[in-house]
Amino acid sequence: MRRVAAAALVTATLAAGALTAVPARAAQGRAPATGECTATACHFDVAPGTYDVTVLLGGEEAARTSLTGETRRSLLPETATAPGERVARSFTVDVRTPEGEPAGPAGSPGLDLTIGGPAPALAAVRVTPARHARQILLVGDSTVCDQPGAPYSGWGQQLPQYLRKGLSVANHADSGESTVSYLADERMWGTVRRLVRPGDLVLVQLAHNDKTTDGPTYRANLETLVAGVRERGGRPVLVTPVVRRWFGADGTLDNDTALLVNGLGVDHPAVVRAVAAARDVPLIDLTAKTKALVESLGVEGSKSLYLHDEKRDNTHTSAHGATVYAGLVRDELVARHLVPRGAVRPG
C-alpha cells in the first residue's frame, strides 16, 4: 500500500486500495494537523495535547469501521454504513508521552490512529486542536490502564469509544499500582495533579494492589487523592474496584478474594464507600455492578469477561470484558449527572 503525505483532511477509498489527498482548510483559527494515511492507519505529527478528530466513514460497498489510537485505545466503536453512505463521527483524544501507562515506554510521537473493523471504509479524517474540551483523568491499576498488549485490556482503555467530541479520557492508570505507590511516584500522582483543570473529572480506582495496606493508611491515601483533586478545582469520583472472578461453592462471589478484602481484613470497597460518604464525593460502585453482572452470567458465562481461558487469569479483563465494564462506568457517569447524556454514545 503506497503511503501519501496529506493534510489533516485525507480522502481514502480503502476497499479499492487507493488513497488520495485533498487540501485541508483551517477551522476558526485552529490550524489542522498534517498527517498521512494508509489503508490501515493514519499518523499525525502533533505535539502532546488534546485534539478533536472528525472522520467520514463509508464507501461504495457496505462497511463496518472502528478506530483505535495510541496504545490500543478504543476511540470509535464499530460503525455500519450502507453502500454509498457516508457517516460523520467525532471524538476528542488525549495525546501524550508516554502514550500509554505512565511507567511504560514513550511510544511514538504524535497521534496514531488504527483503522479496524470487519470491512473498514474511511473516507476522510480531520485533526485539529481541541477547544473547551473537558478531561476525564483516570487514576488506577492494571484493571483500568491502557494495556500495551493483547489479550489484556483495562476498562479505561475502552471508555473513550463511549464519549463524543468534547470529552477526552486521559488514562494515567498503571499496572501494579496501589494507593501507596501511586502517591509516591512523581510519574503517577505528581503528573496527574498538575494536569487537573477546573471542572475536570478524576476517577480513582485503586485497591487491587493494596494487599498489605492497613485500613487507616488506605483511607488516608484516598482522602489525600480527593483533597488534591479539589485543590486544583477538579471533581474527584471514587470508584470501587472491579471484582475478581472467584466463585465460591455456592455460586456467588461472596468471598474475600473476589470482593477485594486484603490479608489484613481491610474491605477495600467498604472503605471507598465510607470515604465517598464522609467527604461528599460521587461514588461509582463498580464492585457492586461487576459482582451482579458476573454472578448473573454464572461460572461459565462470565469467563469471557476475564482472561480465564487465555491466561487462567480471573483478575484482568479481556477486551470484551473491559468494554462491558467501561459501559457500566459510562452509565454511572450519566446517572450521577457527572456528564450529560448527550455527551456519551449508547452501547
Residue 229's alpha-carbon distances to 179, 209, 222, 280, 281, in angstroms, are 15, 22, 11, 13, 11
Final residue before a domain boundary, out of 129, 149, 178: 129
Is there a single domain that holds both residue 202 and residue 216?
Answer: yes
pLDDT band for 152, please (50, 70, 90 cuts): very high
For 71-111, how does the pLDDT look when each residue is reduced to its tens digit (9 = 90+)?
Answer: 999 999 999 999 999 999 999 999 999 999 999 999 999 99
Report whether pLDDT(12) > 50.
no
> What phi and psi values does residue 79 have, to the nearest 5 degrees?
-125, 125
Characterize 140-171 residue by residue with b for buried, 16 or more Cβ atoms within 10 angstroms of its Cβ, and e for exposed.
bbbbbbbbbeeebbbbbbbbbbbbebbbbbbb
The answer to which of 21-35, 164-178, 249-263, 278-292 has the lowest mean pLDDT is 21-35
Final residue before a domain boundary, out of 129, 152, 186: 129
Measure CA of the first residue to CA of the last residue in the chain; give whole Å.
34
Is there a single domain that holds both residue 298 and residue 160?
Answer: yes
Which pLDDT value is given to residue 31?
Answer: 67
Rounded distance between C-alpha atoms, residue 75 and residue 314, angstroms: 26
Nearest to 33 by CA among 6, 11, 57: 6
Which domain covers residue 253, as residue numbers? 134-343
Rounded distance between C-alpha atoms, residue 291 and residue 328, angstroms: 12
Is there a single domain that holds both residue 270 and residue 182?
Answer: yes
Is there a single domain that holds both residue 125 and residue 143?
Answer: no
For 310-330, how does the pLDDT look when each residue is reduced to its tens digit (9 = 90+)?
Answer: 999 999 999 999 999 999 999
Is there a single domain that holds both residue 216 and residue 239?
Answer: yes
Report whether pLDDT(295) > 50.
yes
Is there a single domain that holds both residue 110 and residue 152?
Answer: no
Is there a single domain that holds both residue 80 and residue 150?
Answer: no
CATH of the domain at 326: 3.40.50.1110
Assess contact for 286 and 242: CB atoms under 8 A: yes
Is there a single domain that holds both residue 89 and residue 146?
Answer: no
Is there a single domain that holds both residue 140 and residue 80?
Answer: no
Nearest to 77 by CA among 25, 43, 116, 38: 116
Is there a single domain that holds both residue 44 and residue 61?
Answer: yes
Which pLDDT value is given to residue 30?
Answer: 61
3-class secondary structure for 260-301?
CECCCCCEHHHHHHHHHHHCCCCEECHHHHHHHHHHHHHHHH
Residues facing 55 on adjacent strands: 89, 125
CATH of the domain at 34: 2.60.120.260
Is there a single domain that holds both residue 145 and residue 109?
Answer: no
Indicate the number of domains in the chain: 2
Report whether pLDDT(56) > 50.
yes
Final residue before a domain boundary, out of 101, 129, 157: 129
C-alpha cell belonging to residue 246: 472467584
Is there a single domain that holds both residue 199 and residue 252?
Answer: yes
Q: What is the pTM of this model?
A: 0.92
pLDDT band for 33, please (50, 70, 90 cuts): confident
Average pLDDT, integer, range 28-46? 83
